[in-house]
Amino acid sequence: MGASIGTEDSSKARNVDLNIIPFIDLMSCLTAFLLVTAVWVNISQLNTRAGGKSREGPDKIDPDPELSVLVEADEIWVGVSRIEEYERIPKTATGYDWPKLELSLRAHKTTGLFTENPVIQVAAESTKAQPVAYQEIVFAMDVALKVGFSDVKITDPDGLAARPHL
Protein backbone atom coordinates (compact mmCIF):
# COMPACT_ATOMS: atom_id res chain seq x y z
CA MET A 1 0.00 0.00 0.00
CA GLY A 2 1.44 3.36 -0.89
CA ALA A 3 0.74 6.93 0.07
CA SER A 4 1.90 10.27 -1.17
CA ILE A 5 3.21 12.52 1.58
CA GLY A 6 4.09 16.09 0.98
CA THR A 7 3.05 19.67 1.56
CA GLU A 8 1.27 21.85 -0.91
CA ASP A 9 4.18 24.26 -1.26
CA SER A 10 6.75 21.50 -1.64
CA SER A 11 7.76 20.84 -5.18
CA LYS A 12 8.69 17.26 -4.46
CA ALA A 13 6.13 14.86 -3.04
CA ARG A 14 7.44 11.76 -1.35
CA ASN A 15 5.98 8.31 -1.82
CA VAL A 16 5.96 6.16 1.28
CA ASP A 17 5.15 2.46 1.24
CA LEU A 18 3.21 1.35 4.29
CA ASN A 19 3.51 -2.37 4.96
CA ILE A 20 0.27 -3.64 6.53
CA ILE A 21 1.10 -7.34 6.22
CA PRO A 22 2.45 -7.57 9.82
CA PHE A 23 -0.72 -5.92 11.10
CA ILE A 24 -2.91 -8.43 9.23
CA ASP A 25 -0.76 -11.28 10.59
CA LEU A 26 -1.18 -10.00 14.14
CA MET A 27 -4.95 -9.66 13.79
CA SER A 28 -5.32 -13.17 12.34
CA CYS A 29 -3.25 -14.63 15.20
CA LEU A 30 -5.30 -12.75 17.81
CA THR A 31 -8.55 -13.91 16.23
CA ALA A 32 -7.42 -17.54 16.30
CA PHE A 33 -6.24 -17.16 19.92
CA LEU A 34 -9.57 -15.68 21.03
CA LEU A 35 -11.55 -18.45 19.34
CA VAL A 36 -9.43 -21.16 20.99
CA THR A 37 -9.69 -19.60 24.45
CA ALA A 38 -13.46 -19.24 24.08
CA VAL A 39 -13.70 -22.98 23.39
CA TRP A 40 -11.39 -23.80 26.33
CA VAL A 41 -13.48 -21.70 28.70
CA ASN A 42 -16.67 -23.37 27.51
CA ILE A 43 -15.24 -26.88 27.88
CA SER A 44 -13.61 -26.38 31.28
CA GLN A 45 -16.53 -24.77 33.07
CA LEU A 46 -18.17 -26.50 36.01
CA ASN A 47 -21.90 -26.83 35.54
CA THR A 48 -23.32 -26.26 39.00
CA ARG A 49 -26.42 -24.80 40.54
CA ALA A 50 -26.85 -23.13 43.86
CA GLY A 51 -28.29 -25.52 46.37
CA GLY A 52 -29.35 -25.52 49.95
CA LYS A 53 -32.41 -24.54 51.87
CA SER A 54 -34.78 -22.14 50.20
CA ARG A 55 -35.42 -18.75 51.73
CA GLU A 56 -38.57 -18.40 49.69
CA GLY A 57 -41.66 -20.27 50.75
CA PRO A 58 -42.11 -23.12 53.18
CA ASP A 59 -40.12 -26.33 53.09
CA LYS A 60 -41.70 -29.51 51.79
CA ILE A 61 -43.52 -31.55 54.42
CA ASP A 62 -41.94 -34.86 53.40
CA PRO A 63 -38.96 -34.01 51.17
CA ASP A 64 -37.00 -36.60 49.26
CA PRO A 65 -33.72 -37.53 50.93
CA GLU A 66 -30.71 -35.59 49.71
CA LEU A 67 -27.05 -36.53 49.83
CA SER A 68 -24.65 -33.93 51.20
CA VAL A 69 -20.86 -33.72 51.32
CA LEU A 70 -19.20 -31.34 53.78
CA VAL A 71 -15.46 -30.79 53.38
CA GLU A 72 -13.81 -29.55 56.56
CA ALA A 73 -10.14 -28.88 57.27
CA ASP A 74 -9.53 -32.24 58.96
CA GLU A 75 -12.34 -34.50 57.68
CA ILE A 76 -15.12 -35.05 55.17
CA TRP A 77 -18.72 -35.72 56.18
CA VAL A 78 -21.23 -37.55 53.98
CA GLY A 79 -24.82 -37.18 55.15
CA VAL A 80 -28.29 -38.23 54.08
CA SER A 81 -31.12 -35.87 54.96
CA ARG A 82 -34.41 -37.05 56.44
CA ILE A 83 -32.61 -40.16 57.72
CA GLU A 84 -29.98 -38.10 59.58
CA GLU A 85 -27.28 -40.65 58.76
CA TYR A 86 -23.70 -39.36 58.69
CA GLU A 87 -20.37 -40.89 57.78
CA ARG A 88 -17.09 -39.34 58.86
CA ILE A 89 -14.06 -39.74 56.57
CA PRO A 90 -10.98 -38.52 58.45
CA LYS A 91 -8.08 -36.85 56.73
CA THR A 92 -5.01 -39.07 56.36
CA ALA A 93 -1.34 -38.13 56.59
CA THR A 94 -1.25 -37.68 52.80
CA GLY A 95 -4.41 -35.56 52.65
CA TYR A 96 -8.09 -36.23 52.13
CA ASP A 97 -9.11 -39.85 51.56
CA TRP A 98 -10.72 -39.42 48.13
CA PRO A 99 -10.94 -43.18 47.38
CA LYS A 100 -12.91 -43.70 50.60
CA LEU A 101 -15.24 -40.81 49.66
CA GLU A 102 -15.74 -42.44 46.27
CA LEU A 103 -16.61 -45.78 47.90
CA SER A 104 -19.06 -44.08 50.25
CA LEU A 105 -20.79 -42.15 47.47
CA ARG A 106 -20.88 -45.27 45.28
CA ALA A 107 -22.52 -47.20 48.13
CA HIS A 108 -25.17 -44.48 48.52
CA LYS A 109 -25.70 -44.35 44.75
CA THR A 110 -26.49 -48.08 44.64
CA THR A 111 -29.12 -47.85 47.39
CA GLY A 112 -32.74 -47.38 46.44
CA LEU A 113 -32.74 -43.77 47.62
CA PHE A 114 -30.26 -42.37 45.08
CA THR A 115 -30.41 -44.75 42.12
CA GLU A 116 -32.55 -42.35 40.08
CA ASN A 117 -31.60 -39.16 41.95
CA PRO A 118 -28.65 -37.34 40.31
CA VAL A 119 -28.56 -34.50 42.89
CA ILE A 120 -25.79 -34.05 45.47
CA GLN A 121 -24.86 -31.03 47.60
CA VAL A 122 -21.24 -30.07 48.24
CA ALA A 123 -20.06 -27.49 50.76
CA ALA A 124 -16.84 -26.56 52.50
CA GLU A 125 -16.36 -25.10 55.94
CA SER A 126 -13.28 -22.94 55.72
CA THR A 127 -12.05 -20.49 58.34
CA LYS A 128 -8.86 -18.51 58.79
CA ALA A 129 -7.75 -20.93 61.47
CA GLN A 130 -8.68 -24.02 59.44
CA PRO A 131 -8.72 -23.19 55.73
CA VAL A 132 -10.02 -25.52 53.03
CA ALA A 133 -8.48 -25.00 49.60
CA TYR A 134 -10.77 -24.42 46.65
CA GLN A 135 -9.09 -27.34 44.88
CA GLU A 136 -10.44 -29.68 47.58
CA ILE A 137 -14.01 -28.65 46.74
CA VAL A 138 -13.29 -29.31 43.07
CA PHE A 139 -11.92 -32.77 43.96
CA ALA A 140 -15.10 -33.54 45.91
CA MET A 141 -17.20 -32.44 42.93
CA ASP A 142 -15.09 -34.57 40.58
CA VAL A 143 -15.60 -37.63 42.78
CA ALA A 144 -19.37 -37.02 42.84
CA LEU A 145 -19.47 -36.72 39.05
CA LYS A 146 -17.33 -39.84 38.67
CA VAL A 147 -19.74 -41.86 40.81
CA GLY A 148 -22.76 -40.76 38.76
CA PHE A 149 -24.24 -37.71 40.48
CA SER A 150 -24.66 -35.45 37.47
CA ASP A 151 -26.38 -32.55 39.26
CA VAL A 152 -23.81 -31.11 41.68
CA LYS A 153 -25.05 -28.21 43.81
CA ILE A 154 -22.70 -25.86 45.63
CA THR A 155 -23.95 -24.39 48.88
CA ASP A 156 -22.68 -22.98 52.14
CA PRO A 157 -22.40 -25.35 55.12
CA ASP A 158 -25.55 -23.97 56.76
CA GLY A 159 -27.54 -24.61 53.58
CA LEU A 160 -26.81 -28.34 53.45
CA ALA A 161 -29.85 -30.58 53.70
CA ALA A 162 -27.86 -32.99 55.88
CA ARG A 163 -25.36 -31.28 58.14
CA PRO A 164 -23.66 -33.17 60.98
CA HIS A 165 -24.47 -31.82 64.44
CA LEU A 166 -21.46 -32.00 66.69
Residues 22, 57 within the same domain: no
pLDDT for 55: 58
Is residue 164 in a domain?
A: no
Is residue 166 in a domain?
A: no
Whether residue 136 contacts residue 124, with contact meaning beta carbons closer than 8 Å, is answered with yes
Residues 40, 98 within the same domain: no
Residues 36, 91 within the same domain: no
Question: What's the pLDDT tens digit per position in 81-135?
Answer: 888 889 999 999 999 999 999 999 999 888 878 888 888 999 999 888 999 999 9
Write the CA distances from 118 to 10, 34, 39, 113, 145, integer angstroms.
80, 35, 27, 11, 9
Domain containing 37 equals 2-44
Write the CA distances from 82 to 7, 69, 73, 106, 113, integer angstroms.
87, 15, 26, 19, 11
According to DSSP, the β-strands at 151-154 and 49-50 are parallel
Count up the domains in the chain and report the number: 2
Question: What's the pLDDT tens digit per position in 6-39?
Answer: 566 566 667 778 889 999 999 999 999 998 888 8
Residues 127, 63 within the same domain: yes
